[in-house]
Structure 1
Amino acid sequence: MRIDLTDKERFALAIQYEILDALKPEEGYGKHSESLMSGHKWIYDDIFRLMSENLPDEKARYVLDVLDLYRDLTISFGHLENKSSIEEYEIKFPGFDGNHEAELLNFARDLLNYHMYESVLHDNELDSHSQTTEIYQRMLSKWSELGRPRAPLTKETIQDILAARRYPGNE
């Protein structure tokens, strides 16, 4: 990530790092303040190395859509009188892959930290340990094809959406 700062921004950050250094000297924030004050911009990358790029809006919307779908599946499953042929594990959100979908996984974790989508995320490990994008896209396509109905969904609608998880031809 390439960081370009104005003198005013450098000064403000340097002061903030001085304050952090006074509060937590063991963290070594003082060196960041010195680098910023000295204008050593080749060191900025080190200062900002832990900062992620902004998640693009379309990826954030995708995560929110997936979580909306799983929230509706969870709520609807709870309302079903006849749950035969649907197992509870099937409606539990599997997460995103930490190796290939890390930015999606991190966004889901941040949502949970802000107490959003807790009914979907709270008991889950959130790292699926396998790629999920194609699966969720098929499920979202089926949900859209059905008109994006909201909870409570019928048993048949739940089954149709869950069936979309399987790769076509692997029924």
Structure 2
Amino acid sequence: MKIELTDKERLFLANQHEILGHLNTDNSDYHFKLAEQLRDGHEWLYSQSFDYFSENLPSEDADLVLDILQVYELIGDTYSRLSDKSGISDTQVKFPGFDGNNEPEFMSFVDALEKDNRYVDVIQAGNRNSHSAKVHVYERMIAKWQELGKPYTLTKEQLIDILEA
């Protein structure tokens, strides 16, 4: 990600890293060096420190992940209430995660949601890395749930319909 800093922002960051260099003696060399690079305007050098910085997740993608987790929460709740679970396996009702190679931004958001104690039961019961693209499958499941009227209590038949979407 390319971050462009104004002179004022560079000055503020340089000062912060100078302070961190004094406070964090284990990493003082890093902080003093970065402060100097920021003050001297060596953009190519200081920009290397921002390589780990991710782009903002678009709102539409965040909403999609939240819808997916909500559907899996409904699926899990319905499955746990069913007395007759025939035709549905435990693995089908667990959140399969996202593909770490092709959907890392979604996986990262799921990790952030878990750290913020949201949808923890759904996330921890499932997987992080599906090892295959899943967004298109989840979109069909959400469409089926919406087609059913977005019920918050599912019948066994509705559950199967969503799982097979």
Would you call these one fold, judging by a TM-score over 0.5?
yes
Q: What's the % identity of the aligned pairs?
A: 45
> Which structure 2 segments of 5+ residues have no match?
none
Runs of 4+ in 1 over 4 A off after TM superposition: none
| Residue number in structure 2 paired with 1:163 | 164
Which residue identity is paired with 1:2? K
> Which structure 1 segments of 5+ residues have no match?
165-171
| Residue number in structure 2 paired with 1:128 | 130
- Structure 1 Cα separation of the partners of residues 49 and 103 of structure 2: 25
| Residue number in structure 1 paired with 2:93 | 91
- Structure 2 Cα separation of the partners of residues 124 and 72 of structure 1: 14
Q: How does 1:46-57 map to 2 (within 5 A)?
A: 46-57=48-59
Secondary structure, aligned partner of 1:59: helix
- Structure 2 Cα separation of the partners of residues 65 and 23 of structure 1: 43
Is 1:8 aligned to 2:12, yes or no?
no
| Residue number in structure 1 paired with 2:108 | 106
Please say which of residues 108-117 and 26-35 is displaced more in the overlay: 26-35
**Greater fraction helix:** 2
Q: Shift of the alpha carbon at 1:143?
A: 0.9
- Structure 2 Cα separation of the partners of residues 128 and 21 of structure 1: 41
Query: What is the root-mean-square deviation in Å for CA atoms of aligned residues?
Result: 1.4
- Structure 1 Cα separation of the partners of residues 125 and 61 of structure 2: 23
Q: Shift of the alpha carbon at 1:133?
A: 1.4
Say how many residue pairs are matched: 163
Q: Shift of the alpha carbon at 1:94?
A: 0.3
- Structure 2 Cα separation of the partners of residues 26 and 161 of structure 1: 52
Q: With the length of structure 2 as denominator, give the TM-score of the two structures.
A: 0.91
Q: With the length of structure 1 as denominator, give the TM-score of the two structures.
A: 0.88
Assess if the C-alpha contact under 8 Å between 1:97 and 1:131 holds in 2: yes
- Structure 2 Cα separation of the partners of residues 162 and 5 of structure 1: 47
| Residue number in structure 1 paired with 2:65 | 63
Q: Shift of the alpha carbon at 1:146?
A: 0.8
